[in-house]
Chains A and B, each alone.
Chain A
Amino acid sequence: MTLPQAPLQNILDKHPHDESSLIMLLQDVQEAYRYLPPEILVEIAKTLNVPKAKVFGVATFYKAFSMEPRGETEIKVCCGTACHVRGSTLIMDEFKRTLGVEEGGTTEDGKFTLEAVNCVGTCAMAPVIVVKDVYHGHMTVNKLGKLLKSLNPKKAKTTGAKAS
């Protein structure tokens, strides 16, 4: 796979070329490519004149970065404390089961990435999930099935959606 160079060049031009820009650069790359392609990390190491090991170290240390392409749709399940005490585990478990992936995993067809996140600031509607920047509050395993079905009718056949 060849990667488009244009976004990278823009990103490199936006920041001063020293080590302190590294995290911000990686953030922009993550945003543009939805992950950190290794060849781009090498390119960044060269440009900033930082050892490759350091770039990869930073890239793998922080949760904001992913070394593998993320799915088209990110499903963020809030696993913050408030959501936890209101049952987010059940929601997470059900997503894992229906999507057939673990936390942080992407479905084989590349459609969904399942992510656990911390408090998203809407504890009043706990438990909360965020899909494509839309907040879904007071989630139940039951609602989850319907939601998945609306996102991807094929995938959600086996869930609680049956109840609807």
Chain B
Amino acid sequence: MKNSKLTSPEKLARLKGKLLKQRQKQRPIITVCAGTACVACGCVPLTAAFREALKENGLEDKIEIRTTGCHGFCERGPLVVLQPEGIFYQQVKPADAKSIIEQTIQNGELVEKLLYRDPQTKQVLTHEKDIPFYSKQMRLIFGMNGHMDPTSIHDYIALGGYAALARSFLEMQPEDIIEEVKKSGLRGRGGGGFLTGKKWATCRKAPGEPKYIICNADEGDPGAFMDRSLLEGNPHAVVEGMIIGAYAIGSHDGYVYVRHEYPLAVKNLNIAIEAAREFGLLGENIFSSGFDFDIKVSRGGGAFVCGESTALMASLEGKIGEPRAKYIHTVTSGLWGKPSTLNNVETWANVPMIIEKGADEYAKVGTEGSKGTKVFALTGKVNNTGLVEVPMGMTLREIVFDIGGGIIENRPFKAVQTGGPSGGCLPESALDMPVDFDTLTEIGSMMGSGGLIVMDNLTCMVDLAKYFIHFLQEESCGKCTPCREGLRQLHHMLEKVTRGEGGVEILDDIERLCMVMENASLCALGSSAPNPVMSTLKYFRNEYLAHLEEQRCPAGVCKDLITYSVIEENCTGCVVCKRACPVDAIEGEKKEVHKINSDICTRCGICLAVCKFDAIFVE
């Protein structure tokens, strides 16, 4: 099919019809997830093996192989889904390609060993949609990932892509779009949860030309990867959202600021932008409406603070990414001093759906104050690590236990951290709280970008607070004193706590310093930095006290407070640990109980990892 410019919405609709017909002919499809995690565990040789096997069986023309973005269930990668049936194979090795083709594709038999077995019920499940990890989700934004090749604009259009854009241009005035977005209740997914429609309205009205719109793909939260997976797996949704936003706001220049470690996201995004230009969806005179808009992609320099709106804009201008005071908001004076609208990747990806479904339909999902769904990076000590999309208002318990499948090795749940470095740790008592913007803030955490890290009894909460403060200390731009010096001192004090020093009084100092930072920092990096500390102090004070009063780390993490020893009854004298210890801290003869010399031991954990008899004890 020759690609020609889609000069009108009608042409788009016609193309879609044609593509759908073609798609019907081409089935079945072998979908191979090629998201980052699946690539890391070998989907590239797997895809090659499929091609080889198809060729061997003379099926190249009858069956399509589609490599897609992340399906979310990274824990079980590489994933293969056979469409149209939705047969779900997990942890597929290149050697399995042949049996899938010969058994399932040709004979309709399932390859038993590749099916998912529910760890709880032991039930073997065949279809993607039946697996609890998926069935409890609501994949409105992320669901498309599994059905398309992100580098194919045809795939996106066939699935209904750019229909919202057509609708905006055909049926709506810019003001109507803003009204619709306002009515949908959409709040920014980048952290603060600002009302998107309100932001757009202010920017549209702000005096000054040109106006800029920007997509924040800096994704600085060190434990989150949904923006990345959206850009990698469904870049057109973001592009479409941005074009609609640009039309609504009256902007002709868009930017996407992408975190520098995301080369695949940059690549797929650039392919998408190029294709959109080729089809006339970006560039001059979109849909013959006289409206022009184009997007530039800019790679970040690797600084967390550049996720902050004013710092991001400074960075786009080629400057050092330092935030400025926001007496004047960026919607009035942003990039190059012009009115600018900044939204997060996921926020932009929500826009087409709002326009297509209508605000009322969209707003049926979610809670009073938080509409729609949210994608979370569910990670840590949870069985099903991956990206999950749930309606706002689902409880943490449902996310962690129903979707996440509970804690690894059935250990006790301790806490869940939301909101990244600006967020907080929530204890078991918060598990039944609905997850939405307001509830999370109320209980001392925040939505943030959507990291959701689960912790068990082997995670030390003081160490975790120290981890975040260390991260922020490294990332503070250093412009204002409360943040720059405050973080340094805070880290210093937490370090003392992890060594069991400083006495209980140090907690007062910590709290006082947190208060100063909260109130006196110039940007939200500094003012929200105390959250990880304050929330752990609030809910896990006992752990701080154990360090300070008993010089004990209950989780067995803080190196200065733990000792490694050998459990005599369990030790078989196999000498493995002695050979492995890098500092020769272990003594013992063959077949005799070994002993660890704690003066020499550096607490590196190797002996614990190598002992096959559970004979190493940490306390």
Contacts and interface: CB of A to CB of B under 8 A. Distances in A.
B15 interface: no
B375 interface: no
Interface in B271-314: 298-303
A163 B318 contact: no
A117 B605 CA distance: 22
Given A81-B417, A160-B582, A142 B609 contact: yes
Interface residues of B, number: 58
26 contacts: A18-B318, A20-B318, A27-B260, A61-B303, A62-B303, A65-B302, A81-B221, A81-B223, A81-B380, A81-B417, A81-B420, A81-B451, A82-B453, A86-B381, A90-B605, A118-B220, A118-B261, A120-B36, A121-B225, A122-B40, A123-B74, A125-B40, A126-B379, A141-B609, A160-B606, A163-B579
Given A81-B451, A160-B610, 6 more contacts: A19-B319, A64-B260, A65-B302, A80-B222, A119-B225, A126-B379
Contacts of A158: 582
B459 interface: yes
B401 interface: no
Interface in B214-261: 220-225, 228-229, 260-261
Interface in A12-69: 18-24, 26-27, 54, 57-58, 61-65
B430 interface: no
A123 to B, nearest CB: 4
B515 interface: no
Interface string A77-105: 00111101111001001100110000000
Nearest to A117: B261
Contacts of B317: 19-20
A162 B301 contact: no
A120 B41 CA distance: 13
B47 interface: no
Contacts of B379: 81-82, 123-124, 126
A141 B604 contact: yes
Nearest to B74: A124
Contact of B455 (A20, A85, A117, A126): A85
Contacts of B303: 61-63
Given A86-B381, A97-B582, A135-B40, A62 B302 contact: yes
A20 to B, nearest CB: 4
Nearest to B454: A85
B320 interface: yes
A85 B260 contact: no
Contact of A85 (B39, B380, B579): B380
Most buried by B among A58, A124, A128, A163: A124
A61 B301 contact: yes
A137 B38 CA distance: 12
Most buried by A among B77, B220, B379, B380: B379
Interface of B: 35-37, 39-41, 74-75, 77, 220-225, 228-229, 260-261, 298-303, 315-321, 377, 379-381, 385-386, 417, 420, 451, 453, 455, 459, 464, 467-468, 477, 576, 579-580, 582, 602, 604-606, 609-610
Contacts of B77: 124
Given A63-B301, A124-B77, A163-B610, A81 B315 contact: no
Interface string A146-164: 0000000000001110110
Query: What bracket does the count of chain A residues touching chain B fall in?
Result: 35 or more
Given A62-B321, A123-B385, A163-B580, A85 B453 contact: yes
Contact of B75 (A26, A58, A124): A124
A139 B385 CA distance: 16
A73 interface: no
A107 interface: no
B71 to A, nearest CB: 12
A21 B420 CA distance: 31
A116 to B, nearest CB: 9
Given A81-B451, A160-B606, A137 B40 contact: yes
Contacts of A61: 301, 303, 320-321, 477
B350 to A, nearest CB: 21
A93 B223 CA distance: 20
**Nearest 10 CB-CB pairs, A to B?**
A62-B301, A81-B223, A135-B40, A82-B379, A63-B302, A163-B580, A118-B222, A64-B302, A121-B36, A123-B379
Contacts of A65: 301-302
A121 B37 contact: yes
B107 to A, nearest CB: 32
Given A81-B467, A85-B380, A124 B301 contact: no
A124 B604 CA distance: 23
Nearest to B223: A81
Given A94-B604, A137-B41, A124 B385 contact: yes
Given A85-B380, A135-B40, A123 B315 contact: no
A62 B33 CA distance: 33
A66 to B, nearest CB: 11
Contact of A82 (B36, B301, B385, B606): B385
B579 A124 contact: no
